[in-house]
């Protein structure tokens, strides 16, 4: 593939390293200092753009990539209030793959979380809570991964209708705690607690390489396709 990178920070460098190791070509690297390259022949020649930036600039990046006719794979979170616009663009012929987390391990964790929540719906004596920890450079909170986990639990538990960072949480809401510490790549923990015991599942990322590899695999899957795509399209075990 010919890949354009939108965002050339730590994630962009990790994606570049893995893409090259898999035989792909990086034809364009766009960061905050060379936004004019969205209009370059190099960017327009890309089979796909992989975007990891910040919530405040993500939508603008998508718009410029769509204008150039380049499919987008994005792992930026915190912009989902604009999701209807992106889906409308896909209905009009654009291609967009979104995931709150591209890590294979996290997506297995998503499946385990859904399965466990379905079981726990039969045991209302357990209270559920969620905690996530990320590096201090992450701007949005809670993480997109935490929101996905919480919403998947809500879909399974009759007793929960929302999630909240405002503690103490009301009885029908899942309490979510977001911590920003050091250079932590990402840790997510779901806890079910009762008077007699505690059930806890955790996913702890060790580096950015898992996210980067997943983004490349998603990009390989996206090339040649149309519309709005997610990890559920890529992995059947998530359906």
Active site members: 134, 138
* Cβ proximity of 130 and 177 under 8 Å: yes
Residues 6+ apart with CB under 8 A from 197: none
3-state secondary structure of 55: helix
Segment holding 179, helix H or strand E: strand 173-180
Exposed, middle or buried, 156 (CB in 10 Å: 0-12/13-18/19+)? middle
Which residues are 64's β-sheet partners? Answer: none
* Cβ proximity of 124 and 172 under 8 Å: no
């Amino acid at each position: 593939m010919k890949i354009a990178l939108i965002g050339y920070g730590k994630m962009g460098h990790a994606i570049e390293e893995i893409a090259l190791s898999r035989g792909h070509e990086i034809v364009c690297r766009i960061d905050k200092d060379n936004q004019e390259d969205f209009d370059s022949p190099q960017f327009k020649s890309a089979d796909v753009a992989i975007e990891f930036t910040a919530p405040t600039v993500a939508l603008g990046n998508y718009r410029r990539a769509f204008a150039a006719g380049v499919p987008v794979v994005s792992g930026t979170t915190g912009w989902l209030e604009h999701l209807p616009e992106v889906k409308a663009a896909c209905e009009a012929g654009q291609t967009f793959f979104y995931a709150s987390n591209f890590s294979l391990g996290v997506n297995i964790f998503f499946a385990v979380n859904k399965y466990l929540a379905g079981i726990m719906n039969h045991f209302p004596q357990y209270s559920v809570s969620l905690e996530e920890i990320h590096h201090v450079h992450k701007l949005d909170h809670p993480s997109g991964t935490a929101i996905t986990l919480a919403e998947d639990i809500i879909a399974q538990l009759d007793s929960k209708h929302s999630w909240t960072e405002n503690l103490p949480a009301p009885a029908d809401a899942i309490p979510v705690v977001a911590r920003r510490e050091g250079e932590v790549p990402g840790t997510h923990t779901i806890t079910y607690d009762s008077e007699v015991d505690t059930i806890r599942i955790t996913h702890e990322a060790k580096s950015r390489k898992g996210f980067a590899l997943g983004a490349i695999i998603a990009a390989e899957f996206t090339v040649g396709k149309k519309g709005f795509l997610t990890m559920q399209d890529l992995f059947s075990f998530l359906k």
